[in-house]
A and B are shown apart, each in its own frame.
Chain A
Amino acid sequence: MKFTLNKTLSVLLLSATVSFNASAAEITGAGSSFIYPVLSKWAEAYKAKTGNNVNYQSIGSGGGIKQINAKTVEFGATDDPVKADILKAKGQVQFPAIIGGVVPVVNIEGVKAGEIKLSADVLAKIFQGVIISWNDKRILALNPGVKIPANTITVVTRSDGSGTTAIFTNYLSKVSAAWQEEVGSGKTVVWPATSTVSGKGNEGVSANVNRIKNSIGYVEYAYAKKNNMTYVSLQNADGKFVLPDDKTFAAAASGTDWTKFPGMATFITNASGENAWPITGATFVVMYKNPSDKVKAKQALDFFNFALKEGKDMALNLDYVPMPDATVSYIEKTVFSEVNAK
């Protein structure tokens, strides 16, 4: 009896070891929900090519930073870039992996997508609660000929801490001194408009905007597109009104020289350029310079190398903007080389 038990146990153990050896390495990451759709496509293609698994948990930018700081994952992803001095203090490196846009969306009866035009100042005043009605003369002046009802505006925001909010409030702080002073920017802020309703996640915001008449909110472009939402035309730094799509996001990114910023930590909001969409942002990947598991770190770098170079079409198919070639080779030379991996 005892003998058989021992035998069974050893067989079990043996098979466990064998299956462990046979299973491929697993790279783990966590953070931004914005990058998740394209990252899972990359992971799929990468697994097909190399057999290695990438396990990414879309828990939000703040959560991603928390996880990488706790060293429970190989990489964290955040839409709110980590400041260079914090990177230095923690011994981390950071690089942007994908570009996308944040889009103000409205729900006004009779108004179609792209039909309503807003300037940066008017947008800030709406979210500040200074402009409280759709027929405010500052809105009407920008939209001659568009039929806009005389209804009270409901502002819809994110209730959870989010990179989308960080990008959006960074933009508002850049274009409005009053916003900068009263509200500031960050993953969560105290929304000043008394009509503010908040929802959890991009899903929560889009559900609320779609439901509440005369509301305005902000979501990642993918959500606006997926839910057929009424996005607005926004005046950019050059004074031109632009519509959100991958071309205007790319135009915004093309004017940004990432290499000038320590840790590549910059928002690309309010970018100059005739066709630049003003609320464009990137998702940043954060890793340790001296990771505890050097083999896995090497695999993670290999994965991002693959994603940045061979994953461009996958990104474009999902309406993201891939990183430009020059930036990719800069990342490879100066960021990847800093990670002590083997």
Chain B
Amino acid sequence: MTTSIKNIERTSRKQHYQDVIFGLISQLSALIVLFVLLGIIVSLVINAWPALKEFGPSFFLNAQWDINREKFGGLISIYGTIVSSLIALIIATPLSFGIALFLTEICPAFLKRPLGVAIELLAAIPSIIYGMFGLFIFAPVFGDYIQPALAASLGKLPYIGILFSGAPNGIGMLCAGIILAMMILPFIASVMRDVFEIVPAVLKESAYGLGCTKWEVARHIILPYTKAGVVGGIMLGLGRALGETMAVTFVIGNAARIMPSLFAPGSSIASTLANQFGEASPGLHFSALFALGLALFIITFVILSLAKLMLIQLEKKQGKKS
């Protein structure tokens, strides 16, 4: 009798220790991630400090990047990053919406899986492949056929015409934006598909019962219901577009200037870093590259935080409604 009690005591003590140790280990794992994040921020700021001190906050607004004369400003790269990502979003968002809607509402059951898998596979293609495809296959076609067509049509319009002017070289800001759009499409599409699937069937069926068309259901039932999730998905795509390096470096043209035309080459923060880090020796140039990295970190961080907040809100609403 006493031995069995002792046994139980021993086991429970052992279990208690196991529990404590397991708790500590998992806590440590979580803390490590936080420390890494903190460490990255601190090291970025420390390394960027000499450049930020030299040029002040106007570093982020100054469009000059002269390595030989050591005059650095981040605006060219920041502009390139934001413009190429915006182009990507403008193209990828409606396409993703169409894909997600087709997959959840219209697609016959036998096509659903293969199409879904195909879109997820697109997300698995390494970005360097997109870069090679962009430079060697897409850019020539784009420069020979699509750009002249754009210049002849949109280029003739007042105000926005200047965006589609200049030499049709293929590579440039617009090309980078389109390649980025292909890359972020699967991310946005799969998030949209997932949130469209959580719309309660009873809502949609009621709308169909009232005689709504598929578009009306999408516009007035699905979209309002999944608004936050859709925006969250778009933000995730934007986050990826902002930081994309290799593919953009291949096709953006890497010119250190801001030009009004979208056909003109430019450079993004990530492409500038990829091109120049190998050669930069410690000094102002090195520090200015870190300051660019810091700018990218801040932009991405803000956007991903917004996306996260929206997704959290979506989940809350979900709890109330269903």
Contact B253 A197 (CB under 8 A): yes
> In the bound complex, what is the Cα–Cα distance between A85 and B194 (angstroms)?
64
Contact A154 B253 (CB under 8 A): no
CB of A208 within 8 A of chain B? yes
> In the bound complex, what is the Cα–Cα distance between A188 and B254 (angstroms)?
12
Contact B167 A152 (CB under 8 A): yes
Contact B281 A65 (CB under 8 A): yes
CB of B198 within 8 A of chain A? no
Chain B residues with CB under 8 Å of A160's CB are 275-276, 278-279
- Kindly specify which of B35-43, B61-69, B301-309 makes contact with the partner chain: B61-69
Contact A207 B136 (CB under 8 A): yes
Chain A residues with CB under 8 Å of B169's CB are 154, 197, 212, 215
Q: Which of B139-156 contact A (CB under 8 A)?
A: 139-140, 143
Contact count band on B: 20 to 34
Contact B265 A188 (CB under 8 A): no
Contact A159 B254 (CB under 8 A): yes
Q: Which of A185-232 contact B (CB under 8 A)?
A: 186-191, 194-200, 204, 207-208, 211-212, 215
Contact B136 A190 (CB under 8 A): no
Nearest CB of chain A from residue B140's CB, rounded to whole Å: 6
Chain A residues with CB under 8 Å of B271's CB are 159
Known contacts A63-B279, A208-B171, A190 near B255 by CB under 8 Å: no
Q: Which of B213-243 contact A (CB under 8 A)?
A: none
Total contacts A-B at CB 8 Å: 86
Contact count band on A: 20 to 34
Contact with B along A162-192 (1 / 0, CB 8 A): 1000000000000000000000101111110
Q: Which of B65, B67, B170, B255 contacts A211 (CB 8 A)?
A: B170
Contact B68 A190 (CB under 8 A): yes
Nearest CB of chain B from residue A188's CB, rounded to whole Å: 5
Chain B residues with CB under 8 Å of A324's CB are none
CB of A62 within 8 A of chain B? yes
Contact B279 A200 (CB under 8 A): no
CB of A60 within 8 A of chain B? yes
> In the bound complex, what is the Cα–Cα distance between A294 and B267 (angstroms)?
45
> In the bound complex, what is the Cα–Cα distance between A211 and B143 (angstroms)?
9
Chain B residues with CB under 8 Å of A188's CB are 67-68, 276, 279
Contact B255 A196 (CB under 8 A): yes
Closest to A190 in B: B66
CB of A161 within 8 A of chain B? yes
Nearest CB of chain A from residue B15's CB, rounded to whole Å: 28
**New A-B contacts (7) at CB < 8 Å, excluding given A60-B278, A152-B167, A160-B279:** A60-B279, A159-B254, A159-B271, A162-B279, A196-B265, A198-B253, A211-B139
